[in-house]
Structure 1
């Protein structure tokens, strides 16, 4: 699955620079995660870095974008140009 940012986001700006795929950007009201770019940091780190730094724990899995670790790895390979 990709991740999502919920309404509890306080726009603290710490998650965006942590994303190795540039999947996080400022939305109209809160930060948003592009599910086409989010790999849950598969290929980069053992755990999603945005979740690690979020002070309000508002970055859960996105149930509308279910993906296995294998699919996330394939997405990482395409995004990184290693496919």
Structure 2
């Protein structure tokens, strides 16, 4: 699994952090997503997919590798 985020699209909603805090964080100054792990382990796949689905700006893309 590979995770790609588009910081330009991010609106700082924070759903990604709530769903997968080991993979996503937010910048303190503007709330924009920070990708902590671009290749998370299989155990986090469900949480990462949920984060992508919940993203109001569709700023997260999950690619199966």
Query: Given the two structures, how large is their TM-score scaled by the length of structure 2?
Result: 0.65
Higher Cα Rg, which structure: 1
Runs (4 or more) in structure 1 with deviation over 6 Å come to none
1:38 aligned partner = 40
1:51 aligned partner = 52
Q: Kindly indicate whether structure 1 or structure 2 has the higher relative contact order, using CA contacts under 8 Å at least 6 residues apart.
A: 2
**1:15-70 CA deviation, whole Å, 9 max, x = no partner?**
10101x6111113651111226624xx325287111111111110247xxxx73xx
Segments of 5+ residues of structure 2 without an aligned counterpart are none
Q: For residues 57 and 50 of structure 1, what CA distance do their matches in structure 2 show?
A: 10
Segments of 5+ residues of structure 1 without an aligned counterpart are 69-83
Q: For residues 35 and 22 of structure 2, what CA distance do their matches in structure 1 show?
A: 9
Q: For residues 62 and 25 of structure 2, what CA distance do their matches in structure 1 show?
A: 17
